[in-house]
Structure 1
Amino acid sequence: MNKFQALGLNDAILQAVADMGFTEPSDVQEQAIPVLLKDDTDIVALAQTGTGKTAAFGFPLIQKIDANSKTTQGLILSPTRELCLQITKEIQAYSKHVRGINAVAVYGGANISEQARQIKRGAQIIVATPGRMMDMMRRKMVDITEISYCILDEADEMLNMGFYEDITTILADTPETKNTWLFSATMPKEVARIAKKFMKSPVEITVGTKNTGAENVSHEFYMVNARDRYQALKRLADANPEIFSVVFCRTKRDTQKVAEQLIEDGYNAAAIHGDLSQNQRDLVMKSFRNRQIQMLVATDVAARGIDVDDITHVINYQLPDEIETYTHRSGRTGRAGKTGISIVIVSKSEARKIRQVEKIINKKFIQKEIPTGMEICEVQLMHLANDIKNTKINHEIDPYLFSINEVLEGLSREEIVKKVFSVEFTRFFNYYKKTKDLNTEVNAQIKEESGDSTRYFINVGAKDNFDWMTLKDFLKDLTGLGDGIYRVDCKDSFSFFNTDTEHKDTVIALFEDFKLQGRDIHVEVTKDTRGSGGGGGGKKRKGGGRKSGGFGGNSDKRSSSKKGEGRNRSERRGSNTSGGKAPFSGKRRRRDRD
């Protein structure tokens, strides 16, 4: 016997199940469907996002609806336009073999009169956002006084968004005889209050543990300085060439800003938030589902309608204000039995929030370090090798092989391989070869606060033809500390650097009477890293000094605070100035701007 058939579903719905390729019910479907079909009861079902909740209430609702009556019998409330449309489409798919069933989506941003006309023509099921439903009720465009079923989907998120009063007002206008089915990922106090006030002895179904994360999602966090957050995001993307992700920000402004930065830096990204029109949001989501977008930057509200399979990573660019919301975010990946990764980028001051999230999801986070530039280069090089290996040969080039072989005559196989890879790898290597280790930066800050690291001021800078790397090399060689020199920050006429505190006396003594090309070089302990200190400068040098590139070395003064990490736009994208393709970016193409 078919496992869905064993749940008690009728032939029409079973046919739709077969059409959609469903083979086995999910846990929440297996538990909820028999209860809802057998009894006229209220139910509270707690299950994570992506576990098949829509089918869990959609199948029983369709089977219980009287298709011969045009009266509205079922009302489904959902938090966002996207989710409202998604549920409506799924209800329509589930009921395709049931003649006469009509489901209408009611949401803001669309013509309210047209939505009212669709309901008037006969809509047994209305799927609505609370705000638009309230508006239609005030205008007396809809009658829900005779409904038999009211479903609250993503109840916790609706309440997080401030819809408590709207929901209670809507429920108060429905008959007491109706059944209320409440589906939620978490069970905060407000959801429990709704259940207590409007539901009668509800059956409670819990898939997993309350408020926990999905079992097949691993949780990682990366600690960086707050100013390095965007650079960390880019490195995580570059370290995962096949990334297909949702990046969460707290505000619409940050969402738009991060998306624009990613696009400008050559990534295949887009933003989705409440300030976009419905048409814009639809276009973005279509591109994301078609994988034309690899990094979708979203607010929590807008993301409620993202129902896309195979998302590899959820990246919390910023943790949500409400820690419980993290469960919803992480539920975007690891769907349909597949594995996923939820990443949090945190500053040191936010680290305590990780412990709070762990308590809520009942899972431990793994702390990882941001990949270094050379680690990313290795990943991208091997990714390119696999791409070449797996590329299907285009035999249209066969007529040109003789000419190609003539051009390459005299080159060994090894030389050809090196040259082919260098075409792409050189651009990527040039970008990352001078980038800082972001982990060293934050670890040094932690050491400073504990007294284990000391920050120094030195009166040389960019005017002396130093950049951070040549200054670091100069200090490493001079002090003999090697990688014991870190957090080098090169300003215009002065700079800063760190060593472990145990080397403080040695460093200060070394520069007590130190001259470079006849000029006194001063070093002193400081806590000022904002560039307000004085000192240094002198006349601008013209080369000379050390052959290895210290004083008078690299005079490349990049003003790249917007781009970050000191590479300009053409370097990031190579010679391709029109397409915006990042080195080794694979499918990471800039989306069309229509």
Structure 2
Amino acid sequence: MKKFEALGLNKPLIDAVSDLGFENPSEVQEKAIPILLENDTDLVALAQTGTGKTAAFGFPLIQKIDSSSRTTQGLILSPTRELCLQITNELKLYSKYVKGLNTVAIYGGASISEQANQIKRGAQIVVATPGRMKDMIGRRMVDISKIDYCVLDEADEMLNMGFYEDIKDILANTPEEKLTWLFSATMPKEVSVIAKKFMHNPKEITVGTKNAGTSTVQHEYYVVGGRDRYPALKRLADTNPDIFSVVFCRTKRDTQKVAEKLIEDGYNAGALHGDLSQNQRDLVMNAFRKKQIQMLVATDVAARGIDVDDITHVINYQLPDEIETYTHRSGRTGRAGKSGISMVIVTRSELRKIKSIENKIQQKFISKKIPTGMEICEIQLYHLASKIRDTKINEEVDGYLPAINDVLKDIDREELIKKIISVEFTRFYNYYNKSKDLNTTDGEGRGERRKDRNSRGEQSSNGSVRYFINVGEKDNYDWMSLKDFLKDTLNLDRDAVYKVDVKDSFSFFNTDAEHTENILQTFSDFKVDGRFVNVEVSKNPGGGGGRGGRDRGRGGKGRDRKRDKRRDRKSSYSKSEGAGNSGKRRSKRRDGFF
């Protein structure tokens, strides 16, 4: 892989790259930057969200701009305010050593006169949302008649949001001889129309496969009854105690309702949708970036501005109407080389959509079961033990220890540990002890059942065994690297290890029973970097909420879709301003205690 220096960037940009800690360019940067620096050409670049597209067009644009002139030379159009601000901030970081270069953001929800004044003071690069830019052109507050470069970022999403006419009107005010660079995650026919109408013999680069999903994301689906979507969502969250996720709903109404219910149940949740004021949106996004919100419930439009690299999960509470939208959703996780997981909660009537998405993104979904109550209890028990182990001691407690020791003097060590764990664990156990199975059979054919039993946690003819292992994310493992580690250590085929579920400081995985003796013997006295790695058979063999499973079975006949729609219409909706807060812990019962 080339270094940034080999791409043709000048010294001010290389210095900025060094300050930002970038080492090697991403694939889209390695392909796009030399083309844009060496040629005066239009460009169509197809790459998933999170692959570094802003730097791919930002570095060449900054290097080509004449910073000694105050004329607006570059226009970047993006679909949302959040993305507009994100691009602007990144360009300012990239151009920190370029004297005189000024980048201004233009978006709705802020003072239009102040934005106009910023442009008058000199803005070589303008980053704008289509609606506000069109408004300012109409008021003659901005002049883009002399620009040299126009960038259409997230072009597919701008068109999905209905900005086609705005984009046409904006481009009509730009010079014919400008260069146009179009960046998009997918290439639907509407984007092709834009490319043909406003671009001249563009070069095209594709990162991965056209319209395909990113390889760092694993796709899973869970089949439940229509009434069980919300309980299923809570169980998926409880199975991943350190979850940092975006939960997607189709409508603003459902987004608000789900967020309110999560907050009421004690989860750190917030809502992000178009009915919130700009101030409310800013508060929610700031809380999410600081991880004060762990579950951000959002509509597709509102989520376009989310640019956070360490999102662990995307949860599709409802599937979108358009397959391209699913690609954008799943692209929220697995960014910047990290792995992620995209979960889909579906009813049987929606199973045919899974196959359509598979064909589009060219990746297989894995059929998973909603975890049982006892599986969740086990995961939360280990998580609590890990939290106690890793908690930093507050020396301020020293003054209270003599009295505390006096209270606990008659309790031995083992009983004391049980009591400490039981303080939190008992209420969790009591809630889930007799909880029902939320899973619905997915109607797969006979030929697929046997193939997919293990990926769904069922007993095969050889049996499926679930194991606990005392390494996790803190040891720099994710589901992919842990699966590879186990495969290599145990000398097994990659498919022999499945349902790999990585938590903060521990993990679970499954194999067929024939491998159990070998696994337990291998890890009986096994060290990695001087630390013992222990494996033991889990008390709950199902392992429904994990990652790294085998290929799914195919869906069969579904229920009447109208029935679920009628249920949705019957559900009540009450909007509250509190849906954007971080969800303080309630004293009442909740599913996710830790």
Cα separation, 2, equivalents of 1:191 and 1:247? 27
Residue 88 of structure 2 aligns with which residue? 88
C-alpha distance in 1 between matches for 2:98 and 2:130? 28
Q: Which residue number in structure 1 is paired with residue 207 of structure 2?
A: 207
How far 1:395 sits from its partner (Å)? 2.5
Q: In the alignment, what sits opposite 1:26?
A: 26
The equivalences for 1:69-468 within 5 A come to 69-439=69-439, 442-443=440-441
- How far has the Cα of 1:584 moved from its partner? 6.0
**Aligned equivalents of 1:183, 1:445: Cα separation in 2:** 40
- Partners of 2:92 and 2:298 in 1: CA distance: 27
Partner amino acid, structure 2, of 1:193: V
Distance 2:413 2:589 in 1: 28
Compare 389-398 and 62-71 and name the one that shifted more: 389-398
CA distance 1:580–1:88, change in 2 (3 Å): farther
Q: What is the alpha-carbon distance in structure 2 between the residues aligned to residue 444 and residue 104 of structure 1?
A: 52
CA contact (8 A) 1:83 1:305 kept: yes
Residues 249 and 316 in structure 2, CA contact (< 8 A), matched pair in contact too:
yes
Structure 1: stretches of 5+ with no match in the other structure: 448-528, 531-560, 563-572, 587-594
1:395-452 deviations in Å (ceiling 9; x for gaps): 222232222222112222221111111110111112112321101xx239999xxxxx
The letter of the residue matching 1:42 is D
State the structure with more CA Rg.
1
Are residues 438 and 10 of structure 1, via their aligned partners in 2, closer, same or farther at CA, if it must alter by over 3 Å?
Answer: same
1:381 partner letter: L
- TM-score w.r.t. length of structure 2: 0.75
- Cα-to-partner distance string for 1:66-104 (whole Å, 9 max, x where unaligned): 101111100000000110111011111111111111111
The percent of aligned pairs where both chains have the same amino acid is 72
State how far apart, in whole Å, the 1-side matches of 2:268 and 2:423 are: 21
State the alpha-carbon separation in 1 of the partners of residues 143 and 56 from structure 2. Answer: 26
Instruction: Quickly say closer, same or farther: Cα 1:68–1:585, change in 2 above 3 A.
Output: farther
1:57 and 2:57 are equivalent in the alignment: yes
SS at structure 2 position matched to 1:131: helix
* Distance across 1 between alignment mates of 2:402 and 2:213: 58
Separation in 1 of the partners of 2:586 and 2:222?
34
| Deviation at residue 117 of structure 1 after TM alignment | 1.1
Counterpart Cα distance in 1 of 2:285 and 2:46: 27
In 2, Cα distance between the equivalents of 1:211 and 1:173?
A: 31
Report SS of the residue matched to 1:104: strand
Match of 1:270, SS state, is strand
Residue number in structure 2 paired with 1:46 = 46
SS at 1:174's partner residue? coil
Q: Deviations over 1:274-305 (max 9, x none)?
A: 11122211111111111111000111111111
Aligned-partner residue type, residue 268 of structure 1? N
Please tell me whether the aligned partners of residues 144 and 174 of structure 2 are also in contact (alpha carbons under 8 angstroms): yes
Does the Cα contact within 8 Å between 1:250 and 1:318 map onto a contact in 2?
yes
**Equivalent pair of 2:15/2:97 in contact (CA under 8 Å):** yes
**1:443 aligned partner, one-letter code:** T
The answer to whether the Cα contact below 8 Å between 2:82 and 2:305 also exists between their aligned partners in 1 is yes
Aligned 8 A contact 1:75 1:128 in 2: yes
Amino acid at match of 1:247: V
User: Does structure 1 retain, via aligned residues, the 8 Å contact 2:238–2:591?
Assistant: no
Paired positions, count: 461
CA contact (8 A) 2:70 2:122 kept: yes
Partners of 2:307 and 2:418 in 1: how far apart?
43
Separation in 2, partners of 1:580, 1:389: 27
Deviation at 1:220, TM superposition (A): 0.2
TM-score by length of 1: 0.75
Distance 1:105 1:280 in 2: 20
After superposition, the CA RMSD in angstroms is 2.1
> Residue 579 and residue 137 in structure 1: after superposition, are their counterparts in 2 closer, same or farther (change >3 A)?
farther
| Contact 1:159–1:191 under 8 Å retained in 2 | yes
Q: Structure 2 stretches of 5 or more lacking a match?
A: 446-562, 565-570, 573-582
| Higher alpha-carbon deviation: 577-586 or 381-390 | 577-586
Q: Could you tell me how far apart the structure 1 residues matched to 2:169 and 2:359 are?
A: 34
Aligned equivalents of 2:209, 2:390: Cα separation in 1: 42
Give yes or no for contact 1:384–1:584 (8 Å, CA) kept in 2. no
**1:173-218 CA deviation, whole Å, 9 max, x = no partner?**
1111100000000000011111111111101000000011111100
Q: CA deviation at 1:578?
A: 5.5
Single out whichever of 217-226 and 414-423 deviates more from structure 2.
414-423
Structure 1 pair 134–581 and aligned structure 2 pair: CA distance change class (3 A): farther
